Structure 1
Amino acid sequence: MSKQQGFTLIELVMVIVILGILSAFALPRFANLGTEARAATMQGVLGSVRSASAISYSACLVSSGCSESAATGQSVTLEGQPIALAYGYPTTASILTAAQIASADFEIATAGTIAAKNASGTCEVTYAAPTAVNTSPAIAIDVSGC
């Protein structure tokens, strides 16, 4: 008598059912990765904006021709690009250049607002230049709708 090897039909059906159940639980987890990726990207943008702001301010402090008490008319050069300053920090219009953020990669509806593409709600970093001497720029992130 020869011994048969392999799976029975019932065993094959059970494996398919178990795989179907596992995939039903795993699919929502993988579908949510786009949201997490957009939120992580915006965290990176936040870091870029903060760094660019601090580097611009430092460059103004060490430059003999730059005054951190001037509201307009001041600029520094970063990576060969002129950055307009307000009280030593990048202006709202020049923060994208200072942070080297490409407008093709994000939605830029207004100056100082950098939003993620394909977000279902609010998923943005906002930057507002300082409005007085000895104040820092307002930099905020909202990833509630990524």
Structure 2
Amino acid sequence: MNKQQRGFTLIELIIVIVILGILAVTAAPRFIDIQSEARTETLNGVKGALQGSAQLVFAKAAIGGVQKLAAADTGSEVTIAGTAVQTNFGYPDAIAYTAIGTTVSGSTSTPGIGTFVDLDTNQLTLYKASATATEFRITFEGEDASTNNCYVSYTNAPAVGGVPTVATVSTGC
């Protein structure tokens, strides 16, 4: 009587388990690092929004004939959606802004960069090293852009004909 056995041997099962283990070890880091990639891509989106809005502010400044004025010059502002945007050589002036959205204090309100770019004030925060800094950084809420390496920086245009520098630093994301 010839009986045929059906099923897998113990050795075959062990080999399959080992192969699955090797695949899991090599594939797992790709899936674990998704949060870092998401944060980096969010910053790249913020960078694109800043660059695009800065170009639109420059276009408005060029139409108004104020693209050659420094921020210290009288009349270097342009009006966007009824709000004055302080410019430096036609681009938004980093010195003038201290928040992402509008900061309201009593009866006065200080326009934030929300006057020229729409960013999520619940997720992002603006950091400046000092009140006169010609650069600001945007990072995730609750993080310190002065110490971590996960932010977008905006630096003023250096002179007439120059453009602001917008850069993403994502080594610490």
Q: Which category of TM-score, normalised to the shorter sequence, fits these structures?
A: 0.7 to 0.9
Q: Take 2:142 and 2:37, find their aligned partners in 1: how far apart are those partners?
A: 13
**1:54-73, aligned counterparts within 5 Å?**
54-63=55-64, 67-68=66-67, 69=69, 71=71
Aligned to 2:152: 125
Q: Which of 105-114 and 35-44 deviates more?
A: 105-114
Q: Check whether the contact 2:60–2:78 (CA below 8 A) recurs between aligned residues.
A: no
5+ long unaligned stretches in structure 2: 98-111, 129-134
Q: Which of 36-45 and 123-132 deviates more?
A: 123-132
- Percent identity between matched residues is 32
Q: Take 1:140 and 1:47, find their aligned partners in 2: how far apart are those partners?
A: 10
Query: What stretches of structure 1 move > 6 A for 4+ residues in a row?
Result: none
Aligned to 1:100: 118
- SS of the residue corresponding to residue 22 of structure 2 reads helix
Q: Take 2:60 and 2:34, find their aligned partners in 1: how far apart are those partners?
A: 39
Q: Check whether the contact 1:56–1:76 (CA below 8 A) recurs between aligned residues.
A: no
TM-score (norm 2): 0.66
Aligned to 2:78: 75
Aligned to 2:104: none
CA RMSD of aligned residues (A): 2.9
String of CA shifts for 1:31-61, please: whole Å, max 9, x gaps: 2232222222222211111111011110122
What displacement does 1:137 show? 2.4
5+ long unaligned stretches in structure 1: none
Task: Choose between structure 1 and 2 for higher RCO, CA contacts under 8 A separated by at least 6 residues.
Answer: 1
String of CA shifts for 1:92-116, please: whole Å, max 9, x gaps: 2143442211121223233831114
The answer on 1:137 being equivalent to 2:172 is no
Q: Flag the 1:90–1:83 CA change in 2: closer, same or farther, 3 A.
A: farther
TM-score (norm 1): 0.76
Q: Check whether the contact 1:106–1:115 (CA below 8 A) recurs between aligned residues.
A: yes
Q: Take 2:138 and 2:170, find their aligned partners in 1: how far apart are those partners?
A: 12
Q: Flag the 1:67–1:128 CA change in 2: closer, same or farther, 3 A.
A: same
- SS of the residue corresponding to residue 85 of structure 1 reads strand
Q: Which amino acid aligns with 2:164?
A: P
What displacement does 1:140 show? 2.6
Q: Flag the 1:48–1:36 CA change in 2: closer, same or farther, 3 A.
A: same
- SS of the residue corresponding to residue 99 of structure 1 reads coil
Q: Flag the 1:91–1:28 CA change in 2: closer, same or farther, 3 A.
A: same
Q: Which structure has greater strand proportion?
A: 2
